Amino acid sequence: MTATTVFVSGANGYIAQHIVKQLLEHGYNVVGSVRSASKGEELKQLTQSENFSYEVVADIGEIGAFDNALKRHPEVTVFLHAASPVTFSATDFDKEVIQPAINGTKNALAAIKEHAPQVQRVVVTSSIAAVIDFINPDPTTVYTEESWSPITHEQGLQNGLLAYVASKKFAELEVDKFMKQEKPKFKITTTQPGFVFGPQAYVINGNASADIINTVVNLGPSDKIPENSGTFIDVRDVAKAHLVAFEKDEAIDQRLVLVNEKFTFEGIAHIINENFPDSKVPRGDLTKDDLQKNSSHNYNTSKTNKILGFDFIPLQKSIVDTMVTSSVFISGANGYIAQHIVKQLLEHGHNVVGSVRSVIDGDELKQLIQSENFSYEIVADIGNVRAFDDAIKKHPEVTVFIHSASPVPFPANDVEKEIIQPAINGTRNALLAITEHAPQIKRVVVTSSVAAVVDLVNPDPETIYTEDSWSPITYEQGLQNEFHAYFVSKKFSELEVWKFVKENNPTFKVTTIQPGFVLGPAAYDSTKVSSEFVNAVVQLGPSDKIPESSGAFIDVRDVARAHLAALEKDEAIDQRLVLVNENFSFEGIAHIIKENFPNSKVPEGDLTKDELQKKSCQNYDTSKSNKILGFDFISLEKSVVDSVAQYYQSM
């Protein structure tokens, strides 16, 4: 079936966040329900997507809980019910755990039937707890999609764990009951994941992702490893299964039992020690691991696996991915674009190490950022041989490198020595340092420029530039003046990237980014770096002549966002991402300023001249880049207004 908008209840949950993330990556619009506006804003900040919105459903157990949320979204055609209370500190297990799960499911289904007749598919997240016998486990029993837990409601009242088990069974039975009695138009699928491991969908502090892994991680060298076993499934596979559940007709009216390999705490400890030798976790005993796994439940889920049609993520990868702390190294961290990248990385929960030219620059940047997750290293001259070696050696936790540093010394006396060669050598030095001293780095993103793509010496508005285009400028032309030197530095430093990859076949994957003319506000209000183009216009007087200048712009915040997408999306590997949005001219910028800041002394921009000048701009087809990125760019007007507002506030 074709769906454009999907509603996900309990959208800020561990599994639900992965579902939301994968839905957005597949091009769906997503509406998520959360318990409060603050939770919704946090999740919206994490997703960084205009295709995500949220509705507040404070208590799913209240009658009519989902009614208003669904009434406001007639565009929703799929409903994924992932919300369920998970509290092991309850004192009234029936009231706080079992009944809210049952009523929440009933309320969701009733709201869909009464207020969302356009919804065609519903997927309910249940649990393996609804399938197997947790109280009296029998390793000789083989559980299938037709199996049901024998737990009774009365047994569920004994403790928090059994209350959870009962809540999952009886909430899923409520689905079956509703479908038989109400006979709604929508089709249903339920999923029953095993013990769910894996990283967070979005890197945030306080990893509540996999309590079992966290239990082992927190053990000391002399601690006894608890005896515990079960059958795991990676959270990313659980999310993927939810998408399959509504996309495939074979999943209609089915229970999808999601289990992969068996695990024990001994086995988890062994995997951690094998992959993280500096860990203080006690060494796992593989003999005990095998013995304990023999007591785990057994399954035949061939029916589910056939419907899903994809391979599951193995236990080792799931644990390693959960353990890895995402740290990003960014060179030239105090630059205009780089500061935005740093800011967005920190907002997404990454730890960031930035290189700067001096302690003064580093301390100023740290003062601006005000984050314990940012630190800096001194790389005084990126062009020096082995410039990055020491900085990289000090940070074995770094798994991503963003090379944003590049010399732009205007004026320059020797353009080759001061602009071209430092850019080329700086790029080579960074890649060499990663190859020789940071084998753990898996992704590298290099900030290039549209100057490496288009012909800026002899511009031709008839030419359509794409990701496969290269500037025809020669090295010799770059020696003529500073601007040509800059163009050449960008082209030949990027060529150095692809040459290095081809000749050295490194273990890391590369993406390069070619922004157009970058406009937009500074990342931090008190910083001195901002868009020179906007500043050049805003500082004009009423009688000043507006310079004739035009080009294809991109907002600096979109450039930063593209860097994050480049390191997160596999589709970006080995790609050039050309970032251009609207064409601009100084006449148009002046007009926008005057329209939005009528008291400004900027001269009136002439829109006729604006249109004429924009016709001489280069033209692009960047559909490939835009498809990979998957987000809409900030408009020229908003970019200019935000820049000018910041400029006036700083005066």
Residues 306, 382, single domain; the answer is no
For Cα atoms 210, 216, 220, give the angle at the middle one, nearest 5 degrees: 145
Same domain, 308 and 340: no
In the chain, the percentage of residues whose pLDDT exceeds 70 is 95
Residue 204: is its pLDDT beyond 80?
no
Tell me the average pLDDT across 363-368: 95
The pLDDT value recorded for residue 207 is 38
DSSP code per residue over 394-461: T-TTEEEEEE------SS-SSHIIIIIHHHHHHHHHHHHHHHHH-TT--EEEEE--GGGTS-SSS--T
Does 498 lie in the same domain as 560? yes
Helix (H, G, I), strand (E, B) or coil at 309: coil
Cα 18 from chain centroid (whole Å): 10
CB under 8 Å to 237, separation ≥6 — which residues? 258, 260, 310, 312, 313
Cα separation of 531 and 334, whole Å?
14
With 0.85 as the threshold, say if the pTM is over it: no
Q: What are phi and psi of 182, to 5 degrees?
A: -90, -25
Dist CA 297 CA 263 (whole Å): 11
Q: What percent of the chain has pLDDT over 90?
A: 79
Tell me: pLDDT of 325 over 80.
Answer: no
Does 501 reside within a domain?
Answer: yes
Query: What are 268's two structure tokens?
Result: 């988890």
pLDDT of residue 275: 81
Same domain, 45 and 150: yes
Please compute the mean of the pLDDT values over residues 64-83 and round it to a whole number. 97
For residues 249 and 365, state if they share a domain.
Answer: no
Task: Give residue 3's pLDDT.
Answer: 62
CATH of the domain at 249: 3.40.50.720
- Give the pLDDT score at 412: 81
3 state DSSP class of 472: coil
**Based on C-alpha coordinates, what's the Rg of the chain?**
28
pLDDT in tens, 591-610: 999 999 999 999 999 999 99
Structure tokens at 596: 């939005």
Q: Assess whether pLDDT exceeds 60 at residue 529.
A: no
Reported confidence tier of residue 86, pLDDT bands at 50, 70, 90: low
pLDDT digit string, tens, across residues 215-247? 887 787 889 999 999 999 999 999 999 999 999
Examine the domain organization and report whether 407 and 483 are in the same domain.
yes
Do 334 and 308 reside in the same domain of the chain? no
In a domain, 219, yes or no: no
3-state secondary structure (DSSP) of residue 520: coil
Residue 289 lies in a domain: no
**Does residue 380 lie within any of the structural domains?**
yes
Would you say residue 177 has pLDDT above 80?
yes
Residue 617 reports pLDDT greater than 70? yes
Last residue within a domain, chosen from 312, 340, 375: 312
| DSSP assigned state of 385 | T
494-509 pLDDT tens trace: 999 999 999 999 989 9
- pLDDT tens column, 279-305: 678 999 999 999 999 999 999 999 999
Q: How many helices (H) and strands (E) does the chain have?
A: 24, 24
pLDDT at 205 (0 to 100)? 36
Q: Are strands 583-585 and 550-555 parallel, antiparallel or unpaired?
A: antiparallel
**Are 519 and 639 within 8 A, CB to CB?**
yes
- Residue 102 has a pLDDT of 96
Pick from 289, 312, 335: which residue ends a domain? 312
Domain shared by 308 and 344, yes or no = no
pLDDT for 279: 66
Mean pLDDT across 125-151: 95
pLDDT of residue 530: 58
> Quick check: 122 and 112 in contact, CB under 8 A?
yes
Contact between 80 and 32 under an 8 Å Cβ cutoff? The reply is no
Q: For residue 638, what pLDDT is reported?
A: 97
551's enclosing H/E stretch is strand 550-555
Residues 576-588 pLDDT 10s: 999 999 999 999 9
CA distance 426 to 379: 10
Q: What are the residues whose beta carbons fall under 8 Å from the beta carbon of 178, sequence distance 6 or more?
A: 105, 106, 109, 110, 184
Which residues form the domain of 90? Answer: 5-193+234-259+302-312
pLDDT band at 439 (very low <50, low <70, confident <90, very high): confident
The residue length of the chain stands at 651
Cβ–Cβ < 8 Å for 513, 577: yes
Q: Please, which contacts does 358-366 make with residues 24 or more away whose CB atoms are closer than 8 Å? A: 361/334, 362/334, 364/334, 365/333, 365/334, 365/339
Q: Calculate the CA 324 to chain-centre distance.
A: 16
- The helix (run of H) or strand (run of E) holding residue 80 is strand 78-81
Domain boundary (274, 289, 312) is at: 312
| All residues at 6 or more sequence positions from 170 whose CB lies less than 8 Å from its CB, including other chains | 98, 101, 102, 153, 156
Residue 251 has pLDDT above 90, yes or no: yes
Whether residue 525 lies inside any domain: the answer is no
Give, rounded to a whole angstrom, the gap between the first and last alpha carbons of the chain. Answer: 56
Cβ proximity of 161 and 88 under 8 Å: yes
Confirm whether 282 is domain-assigned.
no
Res. 320: pLDDT tops 60: yes
3-class SS at 327?
strand
pLDDT of res. 323: 74
Does residue 278 surpass a pLDDT of 70?
Answer: no
Specify the DSSP class assigned to residue 348.
T
What's the pLDDT score for residue 566?
95
Rounded CA separation 128/447 (Å): 46
Count CA within 13 A, CB hemisphere, residue 512: 24
**Containing H/E element for 646?**
helix 636-649
Read off the pLDDT of residues 9-46 as tens digits, 9 standing for 90 and up. 999 999 999 999 999 999 999 999 999 998 999 898 78
Peptide bond into 411 cis (omega under 30): yes
480 and 564: one domain?
Answer: yes
**Do residues 307 and 452 both lie within one domain?**
no
* pLDDT at residue 91 is higher than 80: yes
Judge if 245 and 331 occupy the same domain. Answer: no
Number of domains composing the chain: 2
Burial 560-589 (b: 16+ CB within 10 A, else e): bbbbbbbbbbebbeebbbbbbbbbbbbbbb
pLDDT level of residue 461 (50, 70, 90 thresholds): confident
pLDDT value for 46: 83
Three-state DSSP state, 122? strand
pLDDT of residue 382: 95
Same domain, 239 and 365: no
Mean pLDDT computed over 133-157:
95
Average pLDDT value over all residues in the chain? 92
CB 486 within 8 A of CB 418: no
> Residue 626 domain-assigned?
yes
Asked whether residue 319 is assigned to any structural domain, the reply reads no
98-115 pLDDT, tens per residue?
A: 999 999 999 999 999 999
